[in-house]
Amino acid sequence: MTAHLCITTYRSPHNEVLKLELCFVGQDCQRVPSILGATYGLQTKRLDLSYNAIRSLDGLDKFPYLEELILDNNNLDDSVVLPRLDTLHTLSLNKNKVTDLERLLDQLCERLPNLRYLSLLGNRACPDQLSCPEKDERDYRLYRLYVLHRLPRLKFLDSRGVRRGEVREANKRGALARPVVVTPPPTTPTQTSPPLARTGGKGEVEKGRPSPSASPSASPSQGHKVMNGSSGTTSSRTHTGQYGVRKYRYLGQHSEGNRFITDQAL
């Protein structure tokens, strides 16, 4: 593990450790390695666990003085439980699987009291173009107002800083921008009909379709045209349409036959 762990140490002029940064990126771990907390937890101020497969934040309580936490590109979803971190001011959760914004904000308000920088891009809970192509700028603006209403001390949200005008607007109508979580209905598999089998006999039609000669409504005596070349009288009141077999097939690359159809042929 230590071979893939990057440690940055900031020391005072008296060689005292002021700040320790850990970078454990791209190791395919599903949880916070316990050895990191046991060895460096009390000194670490910045922890980067991006590009892993983390599903749980168990073990973060071993980092009581953490100030920055980077968890981009992991598998964190709505079941994630945040620990109490009083000193944390920066949290990056980009490109995870969070969909319930309300639940996440409840945890942020309760357990991260000094949070000032937050980024949720790439989650369904954040209606940006990256994760929600069907959303537009208005949806994202309402999302920002609601997040700033719940977290009024934020200085930076997602990709840009928080403006004073946004804070004033969030205080006025941020509560009305509360997102509605809509669970899509389960998809029902579409039943498809069996493939049609074409027979080669004269006067026969595709499998599954009635034969013109076998259908009583397709007889010439009832005023329909027969598709095998013979003709009968046509009545607009009794005409219901009829299936037939196409005898010729065009094999050219560009169909221009419609240019030579006259009104009499229609």
CATH number of the domain where residue 172 is located? 3.80.10.10
Q: Where are the beta strands (DSSP E) in the chain?
A: 6-11, 17-23, 44-48, 68-70, 90-92, 117-119, 156-157, 160-161
pLDDT at res. 232: 45
* One domain, residues 158 and 217: no
Q: Is residue 229 part of a domain?
A: yes
pLDDT at res. 18: 76
* One domain, residues 118 and 10: yes
pLDDT at res. 169: 93
* One domain, residues 145 and 224: no
Q: Is residue 121 part of a domain?
A: yes
Q: Is residue 163 part of a domain?
A: yes
Judged against a pLDDT cut of 90, whether residue 163 lies above it is answered with yes
pLDDT at res. 134: 74
Q: Is residue 172 part of a domain?
A: yes
pLDDT at res. 260: 46
Q: Is residue 261 part of a domain?
A: no
Of 135, 156, 177, the one marking the end of a domain is: 177
Collapsing DSSP to helix, strand or coil, 119 comes out as strand
Q: Is residue 257 part of a domain?
A: no
Q: What is the mean pLDDT of the chain?
A: 77
Range of the domain at 222: 210-244
Mean pLDDT of 142-162: 95
User: Is 107 in contact with 81 (CB distance < 8 Å)?
Assistant: yes
pLDDT at res. 58: 94
* One domain, residues 146 and 217: no
pLDDT at res. 214: 47
pLDDT at res. 262: 55
* One domain, residues 161 and 54: yes
Q: Phi and psi for 108 in degrees, rounded to 5?
A: -65, -40
Of 177, 199, 222, the one marking the end of a domain is: 177
Handedness of CA 233, 234, 237, 238 (dihedral sign): positive
pLDDT at res. 62: 95
User: Is 76 in contact with 55 (CB distance < 8 Å)?
Assistant: yes
Of 152, 177, 202, the one marking the end of a domain is: 177
* One domain, residues 228 and 126: no
Q: Phi and psi for 69 in degrees, rounded to 5?
A: -135, 120
Judged against a pLDDT cut of 90, whether residue 184 lies above it is answered with no
User: Is 174 in contact with 148 (CB distance < 8 Å)?
Assistant: yes
Number of domains in the chain: 2
Share above pLDDT 70 across residues of the chain, in percent, rounded to a whole number: 65
Of the candidates 83, 81, 50, which has an alpha carbon nearest to the alpha carbon of residue 66? 83
- For residue range 18-58, list pLDDT tens digits in order: 789 999 999 999 999 999 999 999 999 999 999 999 999 99
More confident residue, 162 or 223: 162
Q: Phi and psi for 68 in degrees, rounded to 5?
A: -130, 135
Q: Is residue 264 part of a domain?
A: no
More confident residue, 167 or 232: 167
Judged against a pLDDT cut of 90, whether residue 216 lies above it is answered with no
| CB-based contacts of 55, cutoff 8 Å, min separation 6 | 30, 31, 74, 75, 76, 77, 80
Judged against a pLDDT cut of 50, whether residue 122 lies above it is answered with yes
* One domain, residues 138 and 92: yes
pLDDT at res. 194: 53
- For residue range 165-177, list pLDDT tens digits in order: 999 999 988 787 7
Report residue 4's pLDDT band, with 50, 70 and 90 as the boundaries.
Answer: confident
* One domain, residues 51 and 113: yes
* One domain, residues 14 and 58: yes
Cα atoms in the Cβ-side hemisphere of radius 13 Å centred on 39: 11
Mean pLDDT of 135-160: 93
Q: Is residue 62 part of a domain?
A: yes
* One domain, residues 156 and 26: yes
* One domain, residues 67 and 155: yes
* One domain, residues 19 and 139: yes
